[in-house]
Amino acid sequence: MSDENNKVCLITTGGTISSIYDPSTHALRPGLSVEELLNRLPKGMSNIEVIQRELFQLDSANAQPHHWQEIASAIKDINEEIPNLQGIVVTHGTDTMTYSAAAVSYMVQDFGRPIVFTGAQIPASVPWSDGPRNLLDAIRVAAFGDLGETCIVFNGEIHRATRAKKVRVNSYDAFDSMDPSSIGILASDIILYDNRKKREHGLVPRFDTRLDDRVFLLKVFPGFPPQALARIVDMGFHGIIIEGFGSGNVPTDENALTGGILQAIDQGCFVVVSSQCAFGQADLSIYEVGRAALQVGALSAYDMTSEAALVKLAWVLGHTHEPDRVKEMMNINYVGEMSYSKLA
């Protein structure tokens, strides 16, 4: 391919990959510019034109929902400004990368080309950083990968954005795919599996950044006080993702949550039950303690990760608060966030 056909836009948002040591605080903070990041890559990328956009210098622990919208809006602007764009790379901190990548998946649909999130466990300013390799891999996927969806490229693996979870704090192998498996790997070639959405340049992208960020993520634990649900609703939250035990089970005897769930729903708050387990799905029909939540009006997240479910509910509530429509939209498999759709 000629250079004209290999345009990739690199959007930087901060994170460990761009961090430097600040002697005044004795800690790491984002500081490397997009040009400094690119200068750390090996030479020999003359067949790829990398267009640079510096959006934030942000530790991803400080990322907020409006930052998801700003990333999606930047992608929209870039798509309109740059002809023959092959793909987009977003560098991002690993701590909340799955939230941002999932949000972009919902907000930018039918892009038809790769939108690739990546980052690092060790700053690119350090000689043994994994950042340069991850960034180079991400640019390869954006330029040449037969992929038409948002993904996370990290440590030689390609994960669907809505199926990924950060599972290791310090290891280079920070991310895993939560059922099904990853959508590809990087070796001497880009190896992509059949379970991915392929590149399709003829699509008309849909950009929709509407969001209701008043969604709460709650982890149930033995002894959890059910009154907390009412407090969450009183704080003005419109949706709650409850991480239940196992297949989505919640207490129904001592410290029963069912009354609190029913009260929240009666006050117009939507409740979705996911699982604390990394693999498998929330199936509220198996046990009485799961069925009870279903009977009072809770929705199931099925096999969505809690991160993908939270962002999806926020995105859905940005469109409607009508109960039947919310239920319908939560059951639609928009971007591979679920293994199946109830409406399929």
With respect to residue 338, please indicate whether it lies within any of the assigned structural domains.
no
Give the pLDDT confidence of 156-202 residue by residue, as tens digits. 999 999 999 999 998 999 999 997 789 999 999 999 999 899 999 88
> Per-residue b/e over 60-90, b at no fewer than 16 CB within 10 Å?
beebebebbbebbebbbeebeebeebbbbbb
Helix (H) or strand (E) holding 65: helix 65-81
Among 12, 13, 59, 95, the active-site one is 95
Among 166, 252, 320, 327, the active-site one is 166
With respect to residue 267, please indicate whether it lies within any of the assigned structural domains.
yes
The sign of the dihedral angle between the CA atoms of 228, 249, 288, 327 is: positive
Give the pLDDT confidence of 217-249 residue by residue, as tens digits. 999 999 999 999 999 999 999 999 999 998 989
Q: Which of 144-153, 167-176, 226-235, 283-292 has the lowest mean pLDDT?
A: 283-292
Whether residue 187 is found in the same domain as residue 245: no
Whether residue 32 is found in the same domain as residue 173: yes
Which percentage of the chain shows pLDDT scores above 90?
78
Tell whether omega for the bond before 30 is within 30 degrees of 0, i.e. cis. no
CATH classification at residue 228: 3.40.50.40
Whether residue 49 is found in the same domain as residue 166: yes
Whether residue 35 is found in the same domain as residue 184: yes
CATH classification at residue 7: 3.40.50.1170
Q: How many domains does the chain have?
A: 2
Q: Report d(CA 216, CA 229) in Å as an integer.
A: 10
Whether residue 123 is found in the same domain as residue 11: yes
Among 13, 16, 91, 209, the active-site one is 16
Residue 166 known to be catalytic: yes
Q: What would you measure as the largest C-alpha separation in the chain, in angstroms? A: 67
∠ CA 94-96-97, nearest 5°, is 60
Give the pLDDT confidence of 23-82 residue by residue, as tens digits. 888 788 888 888 888 888 877 676 889 999 999 999 999 999 999 999 999 999 999 999
Q: Report d(CA 137, CA 202) in Å as an integer.
A: 25
Whether residue 219 is found in the same domain as residue 203: no
Question: Hey, what are 27's tokens?
Answer: 């800690």
Q: Please say which residue of 185, 207, 229 terminates a domain.
A: 207
Q: Report d(CA 172, CA 154) in Å as an integer.
A: 8
With respect to residue 321, please indicate whether it lies within any of the assigned structural domains.
yes
Task: Give the model's confidence band at 288: pLDDT under 50 very low, under 70 low, under 90 confident, else very high.
Answer: confident
3 state DSSP class of 211: coil
**For the chain, first and last CA: distance in Å?**
39
Q: Report d(CA 271, CA 330) in Å as an integer.
A: 11
Whether residue 107 is found in the same domain as residue 126: yes
Among 91, 94, 96, 162, the active-site one is 94
Contact (Cβ atoms closer than 8 angstroms) between residue 12 and residue 37: yes
Burial grade of 194 (CB within 10 A; 0-12, 13-18, 19 or more): exposed
| pTM over the 0.85 mark | yes
Whether residue 186 is found in the same domain as residue 311: no
Whether residue 80 is found in the same domain as residue 229: no
Q: Please say which residue of 149, 177, 207 terminates a domain.
A: 207
Q: Please say which residue of 190, 207, 224 terminates a domain.
A: 207
Contact (Cβ atoms closer than 8 angstroms) between residue 101 and residue 161: yes
Structural domain containing residue 28 = 3-207
- Number of residues that this document lists for the chain: 344
Closest CA to 13 of 103, 112, 79: 103
Whether residue 21 is found in the same domain as residue 140: yes
Task: Give the model's confidence band at 2: pLDDT under 50 very low, under 70 low, under 90 confident, else very high.
Answer: very low
Give the pLDDT confidence of 210-225 residue by residue, as tens digits. 999 999 999 999 999 9
Residue 94 known to be catalytic: yes
With respect to residue 341, please indicate whether it lies within any of the assigned structural domains.
no
- The position carrying tokens 């059910």 is 226
With respect to residue 337, please indicate whether it lies within any of the assigned structural domains.
no
Q: What is the chain's mean pLDDT, rounded?
A: 92
Whether residue 183 is found in the same domain as residue 246: no
| Res 315: pLDDT | 98
| Beta-strand relationship, 108-109 and 206-207 | antiparallel
Residue 258 known to be catalytic: no
What's the rounded mean pLDDT across residues 130-154?
A: 96
Whether residue 229 is found in the same domain as residue 326: yes
Is 121's pLDDT higher than 70? yes
With respect to residue 230, please indicate whether it lies within any of the assigned structural domains.
yes
